[in-house]
Amino acid sequence: MTHYTGLIERYRKRLPVSDSTRIISLNEGNTPLIQLQNIPRLIGKEVDIYVKFEGLNPTGSFKDRGMTMAVTKAVEAGSHAIICASTGNTSASAAAYAARAGIRAFVLIPEGKIALGKLAQTLMYDAKIIQISGNFDQGMQLVKEVADHAPVTIVNSINPFRIDGQKTAAFEIVDALGFAPDYHCLPVGNAGNITAYWKGYTEYARDRVCGNLPVMCGYQAAGAAPFVLGEMVDHPETVATAIRIGHPQSWDFAWTAQRESGGWFDKFTDEQILAAQKMLSQFEGIFCEPASATSLAGALHDIGSGKIPEGSKIVCTLTGNGIKDPEIAMMQCADAKPITIDASLDAVKRAILDSL
């Protein structure tokens, strides 16, 4: 390949595009799979943990994988506008790909409950932002209803092209490792992503690109854990606003992934999620957003309990970039306020010597 031009070009044969399709791309995908070096040593376990850092996509989240496909197909079908409900990342991604395509984007977001970076991005990409005094689930319901009455294409993960785009993350992992991991850990909100990874892995296994399949581990925030409770949650709450979702759209698909892979769902408190986010930053230099760290919180818990045995190869997807949510990051580091000193050599020298 000459230079990388996005996941549709790379996996063209496995995606529903033709030679005449105009590809709407921002060179998404091809994100790093980074092996953790310090955390396994800290916890004293013999495990290979890799993180798939999806925060390095063009708009800072895994949503770009699905959005390049969904917007490409919307434009191919003649659509001039897209719409989504979002906890923040889908809206940023939809807005960016609409800008790239030259079409309009409408996004419904829960007022006051989306991270600052996501709001700033979406404004910059010039989407029409509609805040509702309600949560994501109510927004999603409204989007489904309004799409029946207006010429707009829904680009939430109920759009099957989103799932097709996102399955390429599983392809990249197998292409990088030469095999599928033993365990794949993901944060779960609407469950589109766990659905997509399972589709990608099973497609590769069917075609003998890999000989094994991972166990799928879906982790939720304790206050927004419908898969763990086995029923919808009407008032989801969590500091990880990206996964503040109580009525997942890919309910049946996610249960299929769990059942077929022999996997499980579990839930973790905001404190556990934030601790995992800080740990990744502090000990590995990898800054993801709070929701993303739920995958590591879950993996560490299940490694600790032995549910994931030593010797395992584990991939945790880090779905979004830490820079998306500066307010939570500052809150996490409230005790580490920067010091202010005189602009003199003496004062700087003293500050350094004091903290060595």
Sites of contact with ligand AN7 (CB under 6 A): 61, 86-90, 157, 187-193, 242-243, 289, 291-292, 319-320
Which two structure tokens, joined as six digits, stand for 58? 């063009």
Give the residue with the Cβ less far from ligand AN7, 124 or 347.
124
Give the residue with the Cβ less far from ligand AN7, 23 or 242.
242
Q: 45 — alpha (psi -120 to 50), left (phi > 0) or beta?
A: beta
Give the residue with the Cβ less far from ligand AN7, 103 or 243.
243
Provide the 10 A C-beta neighbour count for residue 275.
17
Give the residue with the Cβ less far from ligand AN7, 40 or 164.
164
Three-state SS for the chain is CCCCCCHHHHCHHHCCCCCCCCCCCCCCCCCCEEECCCHHHHHCCCCEEEEEEHHHCCCCECHHHHHHHHHHHHHHCCCCEEEEECCCHHHHHHHHHHHHHCCEEEEEEECCCCCHHHHHHHHHCCCEEEEECCCHHHHHHHHHHHCCCCCCEECCCCCHHHHHHHCHHHHHHHHHHCCCCCEEEEECCCCHHHHHHHHHHHHHHHCCCCCCCCEEEEEEECCECHHHHCCCCCCCCCCCHHHCCCCCCCHHHHHHHHHHHCCEEEEECHHHHHHHHHHHHHHHCCCECHHHHHHHHHHHHHHHCCCCCCCCEEEEEECEEHHHCHHHHHHHCHHHCCCCCCCCHHHHHHHHHHCC
CB of 169 to ligand AN7, least distance (A): 11
CB of 292 to ligand AN7, least distance (A): 5
CB of 112 to ligand AN7, least distance (A): 15
CB of 54 to ligand AN7, least distance (A): 8
Give the residue with the Cβ less far from ligand AN7, 42 or 232.
232
Give the residue with the Cβ less far from ligand AN7, 117 or 181.
117
CB of 12 to ligand AN7, least distance (A): 24
Give the residue with the Cβ less far from ligand AN7, 40 or 170.
170
Give the residue with the Cβ less far from ligand AN7, 121 or 157.
157
CB of 18 to ligand AN7, least distance (A): 27
CB of 219 to ligand AN7, least distance (A): 10
CB of 197 to ligand AN7, least distance (A): 9
